[in-house]
């Protein structure tokens, strides 16, 4: 083994030059050969969302790809939880953790050691090495590997943080893309195609629809987003047991595989199988006033929707719900506006003023005065209206004018008290 300070400097150069985990593993394996003999190296990181240990190998193990292991039934999970090293000096007499150790025995490894990858603030996982030699790792080498794990862990932590920030940035960009697509369209016929294009550019689905709740009938009406998806008629009423109906009633995001799709109502199964649907994801559409429907996305791929897709789609569904709710409100407003503009003109006639609309009363004296008004209005004679102050002489004069042939001409009021007596006689 070369001098340890030189090894640390070489390790530091490798760690600083690696941007991704895939870039790090091969040179890291070459460097570690200076302090430990091994034919196999793996690195396991804890995935908190899936609650598994995610494995990366050098070289890849034979047979089917082993990319994840359960936390409670794996060497790396044990090391991650306990923070202690794991050592198996003789794999052929070790019956623990067969999901990994059986594969190591298959490539003729006889010893295996795993040490934790911890930083000052978090536990990341474990790094393990396997050798074709029995009892290959001494207590000193195990301590040395632990120190190396302490140097590697902060770099891995930074990589994971950078990846997480990149994923978050991509998710926000996707939300912005969908928001721009849906909030600029209030017309129903424009909104659905725009929503289909934006979702398809992100997820590449093979089928998509929205189902909106009708509170009057307490039923869901389905509308296709992708016109190329044949077999499902737009506006169809969903029946009990339909996947969208299930997601709406609960309400929660529900993923369905082919086996579950086959057991659904016949009306849905027939059209789904015609399209070759293998996976389906149904997400409730929530607004401030509650759940208004569901968004359903289908794929021809088996188990097409991962947890990451759900994490993006669920906040995205809020934008979709708001845009659909706005479009429905806009549609209702336009419908009401059309109804108001088309109201019969007799409503205007009903509120139009009549000749006696300002005169209230049904007594014999009032009826007689109105009859006299109708009689004199048709003539060109000068009319003198007599009465006490406040009895409505002005209203009677206006009624005479409205009923007279001069009704189209202006009605001019004059203050008779201000006119000289001689002039008043000539006016009368």
Under the banding of pLDDT at 50, 70 and 90, the label for residue 17 is confident
Pick 109 or 331 by higher pLDDT. 109
> What is the SS3 string spanning the chain?
CCCHHHHHHHHHHHHHHCCCHHHHHHHHHHHHCCCCCCCEEEEEEEECCCCEEEEEEECCCCCCCCCEEEHHHCHHHHHHHHCCCEEECCHHHCCCCHHHHHHHHHCCCCEEEEEEEECCCCEEEEEEEEECCCCCCCHHHHHHHHHHHHHHHHHHHHHHHHHHHHHHHHHHHHHHHHHHHHHCCCCHHHHHHHHHHHHHHHHCCCEEEEEEEECCCCEEEEEECCCCCCCCCCCEECCCCCHHHHHHHCCCCEEEEHHHHHCCCHHHHHHHHHCCCCEEEEEEEEECCEEEEEEEEEECCCCCCCHHHHHHHHHHHHHHHHHHHHHHHHHHHHHHHHHHHCCCCHHHHHHCCCCCCCCCCCCHHHHHHHHHHHHHHCCCCCCCCCCCCCCCHHHHHHHHHHHCCCCCCCCCCCCHHHCCHHHHHHHC
> 286-290, 304-308, 423-427: which has the highest mean pLDDT?
286-290
> 179-193, 221-235, 264-278, 392-406: which has the highest mean pLDDT?
392-406
pLDDT at 230: 41
pLDDT at 265: 67
Domains within the chain, CATH numbers bracketed: 4-165 (3.30.450.40), 184-341 (3.30.450.40), 364-427 (3.40.50.300)
pLDDT at 231: 41
> 67-71, 88-92, 233-237, 338-342: which has the highest mean pLDDT?
88-92
- Asked if pLDDT for residue 236 goes beyond 60, the answer is no
Pick 343 or 57 by higher pLDDT. 57
pLDDT at 89: 95
Pick 359 or 349 by higher pLDDT. 359
Pick 45 or 196 by higher pLDDT. 45
Which of the residue ranges 42-46, 289-293, 386-390 would you say has the lowest mean pLDDT?
Answer: 386-390
> 19-28, 226-235, 258-267, 304-313: which has the highest mean pLDDT?
19-28
pLDDT at 235: 46
pLDDT at 99: 83
pLDDT at 229: 47
Which of the residue ranges 131-135, 182-186, 189-193, 406-410 would you say has the lowest mean pLDDT?
Answer: 182-186
Q: What is the tens place of the pLDDT at every residue in 312-348?
A: 778 888 888 888 888 888 888 888 888 777 665 555 5
Mean pLDDT of 62-75: 79
Share of the chain above pLDDT 90, in %: 20
- Asked if pLDDT for residue 394 goes beyond 60, the answer is yes
Mean pLDDT of 182-190: 76
- Asked if pLDDT for residue 227 goes beyond 50, the answer is no
pLDDT at 307: 66
Mean pLDDT of 134-146: 94
Under the banding of pLDDT at 50, 70 and 90, the label for residue 183 is confident
Q: What is the tens place of the pLDDT at every residue in 272-288?
A: 677 777 888 888 999 88
> 139-148, 169-178, 188-197, 409-418: which has the highest mean pLDDT?
139-148
pLDDT at 80: 96
Q: What is the mean pLDDT of the chain?
A: 81
Under the banding of pLDDT at 50, 70 and 90, the label for residue 269 is low
Pick 68 or 81 by higher pLDDT. 81
Mean pLDDT of 380-386: 81
Under the banding of pLDDT at 50, 70 and 90, the label for residue 253 is confident
Under the banding of pLDDT at 50, 70 and 90, the label for residue 114 is very high
pLDDT at 233: 44
Under the banding of pLDDT at 50, 70 and 90, the label for residue 234 is very low
């Amino acid at each position: 083994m070369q001098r340890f300070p030189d090894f640390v400097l070489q390790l530091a150069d490798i760690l600083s030059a690696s941007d991704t985990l895939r870039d790090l593993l091969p040179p890291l394996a070459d460097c570690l050969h200076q302090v430990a003999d091994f034919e196999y190296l793996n690195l396991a990181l804890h995935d908190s969302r899936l609650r598994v240990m995610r494995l990366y190998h050098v070289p890849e193990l034979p047979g089917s790809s082993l990319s994840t292991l359960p936390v409670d039934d794996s060497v790396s999970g044990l090391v991650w939880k306990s923070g202690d090293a794991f050592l198996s000096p003789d794999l052929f007499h070790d019956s623990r953790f067969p999901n990994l150790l059986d594969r190591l025995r298959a490539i003729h490894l006889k010893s295996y050691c795993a040490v934790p990858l911890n930083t000052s603030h978090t536990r990341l996982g474990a790094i393990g090495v396997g050798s074709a030699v029995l009892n290959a790792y001494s207590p000193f080498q195990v301590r040395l590997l632990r120190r190396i794990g302490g140097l590697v862990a902060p770099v891995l932590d930074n990589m994971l943080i950078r990846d997480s920030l990149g994923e978050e940035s991509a998710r926000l960009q996707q939300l912005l893309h969908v928001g721009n697509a849906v909030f600029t369209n209030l017309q129903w016929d424009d909104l659905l195609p725009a929503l289909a294009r934006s979702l398809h550019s992100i997820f590449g689905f093979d089928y998509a629809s929205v189902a909106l709740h009708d509170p009057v009938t307490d039923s869901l009406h389905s509308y296709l987003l992708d016109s190329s998806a044949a077999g499902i008629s737009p506006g169809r009423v969903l029946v009990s047991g339909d996947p969208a109906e299930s997601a709406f009633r609960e309400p929660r995001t529900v993923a369905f595989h082919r086996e579950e799709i086959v057991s659904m109502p016949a009306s849905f199964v027939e059209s789904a199988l015609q399209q070759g649907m293998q996976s389906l994801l149904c997400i409730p559409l929530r607004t401030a006033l509650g759940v208004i429907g569901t968004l359903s996305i289908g794929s021809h791929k088996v188990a097409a929707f991962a947890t990451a897709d759900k994490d993006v789609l669920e906040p995205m569904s809020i934008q979709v719900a708001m845009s659909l709710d706005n479009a429905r409100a806009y549609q209702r407003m336009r419908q009401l506006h059309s109804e108001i503009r088309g109201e019969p003109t007799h409503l205007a006639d009903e509120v139009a003023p009549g000749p006696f609309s300002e005169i209230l009363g049904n007594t014999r004296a009032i009826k007689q005065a109105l009859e006299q008004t109708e009689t004199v209005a048709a003539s060109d004679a000068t009319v003198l209206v007599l009465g006490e102050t406040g009895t409505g002489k002005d209203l009677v004069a206006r009624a005479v004018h409205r009923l007279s042939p001069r009704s189209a001409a202006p009605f001019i009021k004059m203050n008779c008290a201000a006119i000289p007596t001689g002039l008043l006689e000539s006016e009368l």
